[in-house]
Amino acid sequence: MNQRTIKKSVEVVGIGLHKGEPIKLKLEPLGIDAGIVFYREELALSIPLAPSSVINTQMATVIGSEKGSISTIEHFLSAVYAYGIDNMRVVVNGNEIPIMDGSANSFCLLLDEAGIKEQEASKQVIRIKKTVEVTDGDKFVRLKPSDSVTFDFEIDFEHPVIGQQSQSYAFGTKPFIDEIARARTFGFARDIQYLQSINLALGASLNNAIGLDDEKVLNPEGLRFDNEFARHKILDAMGDMMVMGHNVLGAYESFAGSHKLNHELTVKLLADSANYEMVTLNRVQSRAFAKSFA
């Protein structure tokens, strides 16, 4: 399997979650080994996709520097991960990726519109050689060696609608679209009120998130999946792993993980070359892995 970019440039406009302003997102093809590069159009600022570019993980994954940043990249990157895109420029005219409906579904549709182009170079993936784990009390995230790509996530919220939930996902583009991509981010009404009082989450609404009070879901249409919350956590994890710029050959597991722990996991993994190796899919010789991108 070879590296991938998109066939043509595409763009969409959506609301930014935190500023509540319209943001244009444009995707452009890039050549072999260019990687995923984010670009702040109004600042003429390129931000390479790498764990070293991450500057904040408090409410979302944020990349950048003192010159400028781009927030809430994880939903978009989960679709990039699922489609196996290696090289692409991501252009925005603001400091965040538009939230769309709070899931990755719109980004999948955008990539479908752009089309996938195979390039004349072998695709490289990060193969996990040793188990790497980050913990915070009883919370953990880990990557383990595996010949297949899986994501397993468990959460436990003291809320009558959420409670204990889990989801397992065997990686593949179509299963991502069917099982994960439509799962929306979620938030509690009491938290949104506070955030908006300090000029954050100004674009948050029931059109782009699952809203919860102390007892129930506030969205009139209800949930898309019984365990939509756990599914969205897998979506987030995929996006956070894509910050490394490559697909991962290994098993991801988490209990109550977060953007912060995911970031720490990628940093810890890449800090020691004994933990991983960069390999081409030809070397892996895993037809099932290659077929998962079909």
pLDDT at 285 over 90: no
Give the model's confidence band at 145: pLDDT under 50 very low, under 70 low, under 90 confident, else very high: very high
Report the candidate in 144, 141, 166, 188 with the shortest Cα–Cα distance to residue 232: 166
CA angle 29, 259, 110 (to 5 degrees): 30
Report the CATH number of the 125-291 domain: 3.30.1700.10
Ramachandran sector of residue 21 (left: φ over 0; alpha: ψ -120 to 50; beta: rest) = beta
Tokens of 80: 């990039």
Q: Of 139-153, 211-225, 273-287, which range is least confident? A: 273-287
At residue 290, the pLDDT reads 76
At residue 91, the pLDDT reads 98
- Encode pLDDT of 70-125 as tens digits: 999 999 999 999 999 999 999 999 999 999 999 999 999 999 999 999 999 999 99
**CATH 3.30.230.20 domain locations along the chain:** 2-122
Report how far residue 18's alpha carbon sits from residue 24's, in angstroms, rounded to the nearest whole number: 15
* Class for the domain spanning 2-122: alpha beta
Instruction: Give the type of residue at 277.
Output: E
Region 190-202: what's the mean pLDDT?
83
Report the candidate in 148, 131, 146 with the shortest Cα–Cα distance to residue 268: 131
Q: How many CB atoms lie within 10 A of CB 126?
A: 22
- Encode pLDDT of 211-239 as tens digits: 999 999 999 999 999 999 999 999 999 99
**CATH 3.30.1700.10 domain locations along the chain:** 125-291
Q: How far is CA 78 from CA 42, 115, 232, 256, 275, in A?
A: 25, 17, 10, 18, 23
Report the candidate in 33, 51, 15 with the shortest Cα–Cα distance to residue 276: 51
Report how far residue 236's alpha carbon sits from residue 241's, in angstroms, rounded to the nearest whole number: 9
Report how far residue 185's alpha carbon sits from residue 224's, in angstroms, rounded to the nearest whole number: 12
pLDDT at 281 over 90: no
Please tell me which residue in 75, 232, 246, 259 is annotated as part of the active site: 259
In contact, 79 and 241? CB cutoff 8 Å: no
Report how far residue 171's alpha carbon sits from residue 180's, in angstroms, rounded to the nearest whole number: 10
- Encode pLDDT of 45-56 as tens digits: 999 999 999 999
Give the model's confidence band at 287: pLDDT under 50 very low, under 70 low, under 90 confident, else very high: low
Alpha helices (H) along 35-161: 74-83, 105-114
At residue 283, the pLDDT reads 66
The torsion defined by the Cα of 257, 258, 263 and 264, in degrees rounded to 10, comes to -50
Report how far residue 28's alpha carbon sits from residue 7's, in angstroms, rounded to the nearest whole number: 9
Q: Annotated catalytic, 259?
A: yes
pLDDT at 284 over 70: no
Instruction: Give the type of residue at 270.
Output: L
Compute the 3-state secondary structure of the chain and give helix, strand, coil in percent, each to the nearest 5: 25, 35, 40
